[in-house]
A and B are shown apart, each in its own frame.
Chain A
Amino acid sequence: MAIIHDDVGRRRFLSQAVMGFGMVFGMGALGLRFLQFLLPNGAPRQPETVLIGSESRIPLGEAVPMDLGGQKILVLRTDEGVAAFSRRCTDLGCLVSWNRERGQFICPCHQGTFDKTGLNVSGPPPRPLDRLDIVKRGDQLYVNVKSA
């Protein structure tokens, strides 16, 4: 137990304070470096244009799932044209699937639904599906993705 009325004195107090501060600083720096060791240092994703094939391959009213370097997308062809969406549900990251009968994207995890423009219609998703740009050169379709 600490002795009450202990006359520490200025010199002793300052010496202890400086040492204490140094200890805390040193240990803190070490702890921060260890945390950095655990945190991933992922390289920033580079935008890239990927050829996904000819438009005629995709049946009308169907959405074809694709995996472009780990990025999972759905390419949907409707009367209005072709659109590409990220399959990652904006709620908690499950993969959405296209339901032809309902004309909607459906996430099986918490029943989130999106319409054919990717807009969140019902369920927990807070925002629309991420949309990817499609470039058309002749009949060939290219998608702009960010790959690792």
Chain B
Amino acid sequence: MAVETVKTENSDVGTGKTWVDYIQKDLPEHLEWWPYTLGAIPLTLFGILVTTGLLLTFYYVPASDQAYESVDRITHEIYLGWFVRGLHKTSVDLMILFLLFHVIRVFMTRAYQSGGELKWVSGSIVLFVTLAMGFTGYSLVYDNVSYWGMTVVTNMVGTLPIIGRPLLHLLRGGEEVSGVTLLRLYDLHTKLLPVLLGGLALGHVVTVRLLGFTTVPGSREYHQFYPEHTMKMGAVAVGLLLFMVDLVMIFPPVLGPPANLQEVASDVSPPWYFSAPFMWISLLPGPMALWSLMAGAGLFVLYPFVDRVLAERGWPMTFINGAVAATAVGAMVVLMYLDLQG
């Protein structure tokens, strides 16, 4: 598959169009090609997450002595509880997976260029908030892995210079991981972060519509947004939901042993989307690991500007991006493999 460098179409900022104009506006025909629909899948999954998450809050109790039992009851006693929890869990896994695919597509086609920087920056914040949702979510289960995961991650926050200690106290609500910590992570997971993520995702979509889709050479505008494109999105959403129902039935959610404050879980491996950074922390000594992760995240957010500077000096960015993406994905796979082995 030859990846062609793309450009952003003319911006609509300040043209006084109404939202009806956007619905009726034709899209470039390359949006029919499936890699260009990858962004809509995480949005659909976010909807499923909100729905199932709302259902789960009716039974979940965010107290350290009842959290595990309530998750146990949801998983084993309540009618279709295992299914709702499974759907919630599978949606997170798939949301992050498809966000990564979406990022790779945008990265490979350099769709963040010339006016598209805001699309990239807003999207990368959406990715980070989604990862924060993943962390706070798996902490709520309060089994042994999630308890020690909570301890490790909050400690890691505490090693940041200057803001580290106050931020650690803010997250934990005290010196130690306790019931207050669980309540705080619960509030973050069910109130602050979802509202933030919803707003950011909406902002990202509006930004993309206002700044315009990327244009691919030879792609003419004839693909209708409504009803053609919306129909297609709907079909993708329904197909996705069916696929997920199958996934949940084949891999129902499990629950580890309850949190043990006296003994660390024998395997503290986090969910797959954190296993590469987890392994990275294990391999590098001390603060180096955290620093390199933060530098990587910063570089990720600011990549469009790095690209512009390098491209102006005549660097072959299409080739470089391909190499960077291949290296990043390769490194992630190797680190995940090491985590599985260890």
Contacts and interface: CB of A to CB of B under 8 A. Distances in A.
A110 interface: yes
Given A40-B174, A42-B175, A110-B281, A94 B262 contact: no
A24 interface: no
B217 interface: no
Contact of B264 (A42, A70, A95, A123): A95
Contacts of A14: none
Contact of B152 (A39, A67, A94): A94
Interface stretch (B37-45, B165-173, B205-213): B165-173
B152 A124 contact: no
Interface stretch (B89-97, B248-256, B283-291, B301-309): B283-291
B265 interface: yes
Interface string B128-158: 0000000000000000000010011001100
A125 B159 CA distance: 12
A92 to B, nearest CB: 4
A35 B152 CA distance: 24
A39 B166 contact: yes
Given A67-B262, A93-B155, A109 B289 contact: no
Nearest to A72: B262
Contact of A124 (B174, B261, B268, B289): B289
Interface residues of B, number: 30
B148 A126 contact: no
Interface in A78-126: 91-95, 97, 107-111, 123-126
- Range of interface residues on A (Cβ < 8 Å): 20 to 34
B312 interface: no
Given A39-B166, A40-B169, A124-B285, A109 B174 contact: no
B152 A92 contact: yes
Nearest to B287: A126
A38 interface: yes
A16 to B, nearest CB: 28
23 contacts: A40-B172, A40-B174, A42-B174, A65-B262, A70-B176, A92-B151, A92-B156, A93-B151, A93-B152, A94-B151, A94-B152, A94-B268, A95-B262, A97-B263, A97-B264, A107-B264, A108-B264, A108-B266, A111-B282, A111-B342, A124-B282, A125-B286, A126-B285
Interface of A: 35, 38-40, 42, 65, 67, 70, 72, 91-95, 97, 107-111, 123-126, 148
